[in-house]
Amino acid sequence: MPPLKAENLPIFPPEVLAVSTNVQLFERAQQSIPGGVNSPVRAFRAVGGTPRFIARAEGPYMWDAEGQRYIDYIGSWGPMILGHGHPAVLEAVLAAAREGFSFGAPTEREVELAEAIIAQVPSIEQVRLVSSGTEAGMTAIRLARGATGRSKIIKFEGCYHGHADALLVKAGSGLATFGHPTSAGVPPEVVQHTLVLEYNNLEQIEAAFQAQGHEIACVMIEPIAGNMNFVRASVPFVKRIRELCDQYGALFVFDEVMTGFRVALGSAQSVYARALPGFAPDISVFGKVIGGGMPLAAFGSSRKIMQNLAPLGGVYQAGTLSGNPVATACGLATLREITKPGFFEGLSAKTQTLRQGLDEAAKAAGVAWSSDHEGGMFGFFFTDSLPQNYATVMATDKERFNRFFHAMLDRGVYLAPALYEAGFVSAAHSEADIAATVAAARESFASL
């Protein structure tokens, strides 16, 4: 391979270098990137049309390559709880970058971030920092299996825990049968120990434990399933899973990659603890907000369970960029801001105002509609009642959602480009932003 010198670099014609429209960029991207995107939902396949190539972002706004401004309700799929480019976060990141991008050795800042997470989540005594939600979820399952000495796991249809092989599974044909791969490249034998049940179905979880309870290492769940748009696990459902795990010696894993520090300061588990005094999961998985927009995630548990991890125990996990000094600076600065008094009360009030405005606009237009929110996370469906599982989510009016998405996008409001993705409000969204969003929704509903 020739050395990387100027004369060896590819030469692009002027018409390529001058490309600036979203259509042109997407066409160019598809030549060098599969599907033109580095994560599938960005391709707009679910809603149709051309994805927007974002040039910059500030506060609650993003601007695409053509200079169009959007009110952003994706927030990088959740991390940007403070909005884009928050001064305190930006200052922390720049300072950390000047000190060094990566060391491959421990730093004080990763200890501080671990301590900050533990301080807000009573169920965990130790955490391990990693680089992605997929990595955190994958290792949480490995830890559960190592700690229990068991192989079988339970997950729920519609919950997404990253793209690890054992978790890319759809439900089997029978109640207690194991799942089938949902991705090419995942051999059936890799998912033979994964049991997929229906979300919020008490009868199925009871039957699964009765049939195979002493073989189950863990039950993994999104407490608020943000990959079904926004579907809550019912309190009785969570309560019964906790009881069954205790009865059979399985571990209860809360995947809070999306909900962690987003729906409440203590994460979703604190919301359930208000309804179920003393409730706590055995293992918690975090991402998104704790990285503030940088690639960072974590999983945590009791000291006893975490001692199973290398270098202390036999459960192996490692990562070159785990605890990255720039990412931890970003995450730590973000957590410092959101722990300030009144932060979540203000964020929740903004989300409530948005939701109420959308509800009223839909009602005035006579559109079948339901919505829900918690903290800075929200979701809506084109149906009269809130879905409780994946099947009912997928039975909602997809085509109407797609039309609504594009109508809002045309009016400068950027929602998730798929009916099964949640939305996010940031502290940077103003009353005027929310009012403009509701006004756009009124016009959009009228055009459906």
CA distance readout (Å), 159 to 69, 172, 243, 290, 335: 32, 15, 21, 20, 26
Identify whether the C-beta of residue 288 lies closer than 8 Å to the C-beta of residue 262: yes
d(CA 420, CA 137): 20
Q: How many Cα atoms sit within 13 Å of 79 on the Cβ side?
A: 24
Element (H, E) at 256: strand 251-256
| Candidates 61, 70, 73, 160; catalytic one | 160
Would you mind telling me the total number of residues written for the chain in this entry? 448
Closest CA to 419 of 140, 209, 231, 203: 231
**Catalytic residue list contains 372:** no
User: What is the rounded CA–CA span in Å between residue 67 and residue 444?
Assistant: 22
Among 124, 129, 97, residue whose Cα is nearest residue 110: 129
Q: Return d(Cα 371, Cα 194) in angstroms, integer.
A: 31
61 tagged catalytic: no
Q: Among the options 64, 72, 73, 288, which is catalytic?
A: 288
The rounded radius of gyration (Å) of the Cα atoms in the chain is 22
| Biggest CA pair distance of the chain | 68
> Residue 61 and residue 22: Cα distance in Å, rounded?
17
Give the separation between CA 231 and CA 225, rounded to whole angstroms: 5
Catalytic residue among 255, 282, 372, 433: 255
Contact 124, 286 (CB under 8 A): no
Which structure tokens are listed for 62? Answer: 């993003």
Question: What token pair was written down for 42?
Answer: 């960005």
Rounded Cα distance between 78 and 72, Å, is 11
Q: Which residues pair with 371 in a beta bridge?
A: 380
The answer to whether residue 288 is catalytic is yes
Known catalytic residues are 160, 255, 288
